């Protein structure tokens, strides 16, 4: 169920990246998700493709909003990844309706993505985003275009926001009716960083104790059986916790999950005071 989150490779050396990629592969992870905007992530993954391309589902993202810039970005990504095609190309960080309007405009990046699919540079097209508005924006995105997947946020704390949960549930209903894959991000996000405390490469403060990570992943997968993948956090040092959590989650009861996550005093939405993207 885990998707290797390529953001973890954005600021690390090739040696660190190699160890993390091997760790993911050894654990059986075969879906790799990266992006043009993830620093050096695509470059770190590139040397691996000659040996593993036929064994993995490779996804990347384009953050440019106009057709010309997006088309150039897509081709740069293929060069950096050392492959001639992606399995999934996603429009990155479509967080609000204004951005959705831009990417779906006549000369927007969706046009470049469609061209990439038509020319065999990708098999599937998707939509991603991370804000409180993301589920409702992604639902509107599905009305405008038949995306194959959405990558949208959900975790235990976000589910307690009634408006967010209603939007998420509506997105799920629409996606399932269309046979659109639902993948999730921010499952182990604890809150945003406070000044001077940043310890990991993630833009939000993640859970970093095994018990809490296992509870967070168990909650998501137990309550959302239609989810096709859960992206791991953008930090190589946290990968092992996610791998163990996916294996051990069956031992977590709903009561135990609520006990563990409910006692975290500073657990809140990561989108409160989030940095600009």
Q: Where are the domains of the chain?
A: 2-36+51-262
- pLDDT for 84: 98
Residue 32 token pair = 């790799």
How would you classify the pairing of strands 229-231 and 181-185? parallel
Query: What is d(CA 103, CA 22) in angstroms, rounded to the nearest whole number?
Result: 35
Sequence-distant (≥ 6) Cβ neighbours of residue 239 within 8 angstroms: 4, 8, 20, 23, 24, 232, 233
Q: pTM, whole model, 2 decimals?
A: 0.97
Is the domain spanning 2-36+51-262 CATH 3.20.20.100? The answer is yes
Burial of 208: CB neighbours in 10 Å, binned 0-12, 13-18, 19+: middle
Query: What is d(CA 24, CA 55) in angstroms, rounded to the nearest whole number?
Result: 13
- pLDDT for 137: 98
3-class DSSP state for residue 197?
A: coil
pLDDT tens across the length of the chain (277 residues): 999 999 999 999 999 999 999 999 999 999 999 999 999 999 999 999 999 999 999 999 999 999 999 999 999 999 999 999 999 999 999 999 999 999 999 999 999 999 999 999 999 999 999 999 999 999 999 999 999 999 999 999 999 999 999 999 999 999 999 999 999 999 999 999 998 999 999 999 999 999 999 999 999 999 999 999 999 999 999 999 999 999 999 989 999 999 999 999 999 999 988 777 6
- pLDDT for 159: 98
Query: What is d(CA 65, CA 197) in angstroms, rounded to the nearest whole number?
Result: 33
Burial of 159: CB neighbours in 10 Å, binned 0-12, 13-18, 19+: middle
Total Cβ atoms within 10 A of residue 98? 9
H helices of 57-190, in order, are: 67-81, 97-103, 109-118, 134-144, 162-178
List the Cα angle 49/238/83 in 5-degree steps.
10
Give the phi and the psi of residue 272 in degrees, each rounded to 5. Answer: -85, 110
Cα 209 to Cα 65, 212, 213: the distances in Å are 38, 6, 6
- pLDDT for 275: 77
- pLDDT for 277: 63
Tokens 């391309």 belong to 53
Q: What is the dihedral of CA 142, 29, 208, 60, to 10 degrees?
A: -40
């Amino acid at each position: 169920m885990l998707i290797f989150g390529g953001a973890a490779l954005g600021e690390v050396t090739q040696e660190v990246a190699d160890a993390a990629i091997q760790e993911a592969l050894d654990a059986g992870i075969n879906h790799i998700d990266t992006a043009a905007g993830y620093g050096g992530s695509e470059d770190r993954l590139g040397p691996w493709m000659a040996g593993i391309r036929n064994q993995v589902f490779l996804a990347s993202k384009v953050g440019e909003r106009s057709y010309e810039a997006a088309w150039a970005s897509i081709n740069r990504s293929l060069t950096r990844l050392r492959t001639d095609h992606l399995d999934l190309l996603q429009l990155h960080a479509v967080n609000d309706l204004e951005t959705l309007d831009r990417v779906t405009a006549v000369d927007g990046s969706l046009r470049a993505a469609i061209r990439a699919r038509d020319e065999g540079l990708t098999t599937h097209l998707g939509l991603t985003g991370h804000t409180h508005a993301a589920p409702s924006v992604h639902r509107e995105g599905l009305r405008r275009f038949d995306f194959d997947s959405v990558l949208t946020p959900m975790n235990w704390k976000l589910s307690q926001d009634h408006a967010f949960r209603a939007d998420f549930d509506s997105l799920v209903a629409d996606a399932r009716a269309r046979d659109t894959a639902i993948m999730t991000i921010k499952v182990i996000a604890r809150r945003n960083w406070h000044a001077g405390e940043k310890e990991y490469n993630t833009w939000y403060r993640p859970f970093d104790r095994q018990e809490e990570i296992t509870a967070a992943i168990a909650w998501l997968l137990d309550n959302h059986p239609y989810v096709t993948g859960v992206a791991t956090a953008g930090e190589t040092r946290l990968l092992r916790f996610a791998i163990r959590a996916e294996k051990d989650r069956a031992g977590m009861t709903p009561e135990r999950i609520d006990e563990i996550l409910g006692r975290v005093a500073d657990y809140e939405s990561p989108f409160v005071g989030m940095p600009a993207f």
